[in-house]
Structure 1
Amino acid sequence: MDKVIGDATVAVRAISDGATIAVGGFGLCGIPSVLIRALLKHGSTDLRIVSNNCGVDGAGLGLLLEAGRIARITASYVGENKEFARQYLAGELEVELTPQGTLAERLRAGGAGIGAFYTPTGVGTQIAEGGLPWRYALDGTVATASPAKEVRTFAGREMVLEEAITCDVALVRAARADRHGNAVFHAAARNFNPMAAQAGRVTILETEELVEVGEIAPDDIHLPGIYVQHVVPLSAAQAADKGVERITVRTGVDRGSDA
């Protein structure tokens, strides 16, 4: 039951070329940065990534993107990453853009063993009707477009059928976890991590703090250890190394005014 692996490089060494990987995080918040860097070092390529976004230039999944390791990504957000946009528009990267809530539910459904579900999100758009550019050709035309999806009416409301997502591997990050993989996430860093973990056939979890079994109260557990196969404890330096996408501060404020 002890799932601890002391070295992130060892934890990811079974990830092969062409693997599908669910990755937790939102921007740089709650991303499994140590595991991502270990995967970069490992050298796997032609990866199919499922994540809210693809990191930023020079950080997170952006590192794998810049190294040309990602062939396809299912995501809901492209912003903050110029290389992502460049590769997509240049026809170097296949991108399946999915509404954010739909992406979360597709991952959750995959982890729950649900094959598909109906949602009103996307009805009347190319999400349902098809035609969204997944991959561009070198001349700028659409090489691969999204297919049309089934639409049915429930209680007088049209809904589109969305298929669940499961992946070969999931990479996630927790604030606290025990040796059995029971995990707790901190505030907004929880984001996509639980759903990504549930969607992975093999889930590797890096944790900022490793505790003994029983130290986390059952009611405090966000992700049960049944979904986790490997736990990688981080050093203090690794746990503290967290990026900020965009720092915004106020300047020139007149503290004597009511403004």
Structure 2
Amino acid sequence: PENLLAAVKRKGTKNLTAVSNNAGVDDFGLGLLLQTRQVKRMIASYVGENKLFEEQYLSGQLEVELTPQGTLAERLRAGGAGIPAFFTRTAYGTIIQSGENVIKYGPGGAKADKVEIQSEPRESRDFDGRGYVMERAITGDVALIKAWKADERGNLVWRGTSRNFNPDCARAGKVCIAEVEEVVPV
């Protein structure tokens, strides 16, 4: 929702927790909010194309929670459905399970090798002889999403890749603000 993100940038709201499948690029999407240091914490599955994101994380200016894409989608879906947590095989046996993932570096950043915030160890259980890790649902105060069409009652229609995360994000937010290409009558 590039126009909604531009409005948030203009408003100057700070200390945001952003949940997205990616961190945008330096001058588009969430990258715009990173430029103005409005994002405090980022929960994402892919962050590889944003140099500013990398700089802020490695210098200790940004909290980052990396989550596999399927797990991120399920955490949002669970949040929207009122399910507080679920178990998944993803991350079992990794630093995510053991709580050794760096969320935020301390003063001096990664070069100083000082960790300010480390992930919490995940609860794990065996089901049918296989290990699983518990993941908590994601909910938020406001969901900013993009849809193709909306009617005057607020029903939304998505097409293409916008169907991937937007419906789950919409349900996971206490309030949903949708940017649409067209508003149609009921």
Fold in common (TM above 0.5) = yes
Distance 2:180 2:120 in 1: 39
The question of whether the paired residues in 2 share the 8 Å contact of 1:131 and 1:148 is answered with yes
Q: What corresponds to 1:71 in structure 2? A: 40
Q: What corresponds to 1:181 in structure 2? A: 154
Pairing of 1:37-116 with structure 2 (within 5 A): 37-116=6-85
Note the C-alpha offset of 1:42.
Answer: 0.9
Alignment partner of 1:36 is 2:5: yes
Q: Give identity over the alignment, percent.
A: 55
Q: What corresponds to 1:153 in structure 2? A: 126
SS in 2 for 1:161: strand
More strand by share: 2
Across the aligned residues of Structure 1 and Structure 2, the Cα RMSD in angstroms comes to 0.9
Deviation by residue 1:10-36 (Cα, 9 ceiling, x = unmatched):
xxxxxxxxxxxxxxxxxxxxxx00100
Q: Which has the higher contact order (CA 8 A, sep 6+)?
A: 1
Note the C-alpha offset of 1:87.
Answer: 0.3
Structure showing greater radius of gyration is: 1
SS in 2 for 1:165: coil
Q: What corresponds to 2:115 in structure 1? A: 142
Q: How many residues align?
A: 182
Amino acid at match of 1:107: L
Note the C-alpha offset of 1:140.
Answer: 3.3
Q: What corresponds to 1:249 in structure 2? A: none
Distance 2:19 2:162 in 1: 17
Distance 1:197 1:189 in 2: 12
Distance 2:69 2:119 in 1: 17
Length-normalised TM-score, structure 2: 0.95
Which ranges of structure 2 fall in alignment gaps of 5 or more residues?
none
Pairing of 1:6-17 with structure 2 (within 5 A): none
Note the C-alpha offset of 1:161.
Answer: 0.6
Amino acid at match of 2:125: R
Distance 1:95 1:188 in 2: 24
Note the C-alpha offset of 1:189.
Answer: 2.3
Deviation by residue 1:106-152 (Cα, 9 ceiling, x = unmatched):
01000000010000111000121111010012223222111111110
Distance 2:25 2:170 in 1: 22
SS in 2 for 1:208: strand
SS in 2 for 1:180: coil
SS in 1 for 2:86: strand
Distance 2:76 2:116 in 1: 27
Length-normalised TM-score, structure 1: 0.69
Which ranges of structure 1 fall in alignment gaps of 5 or more residues?
1-31, 214-259
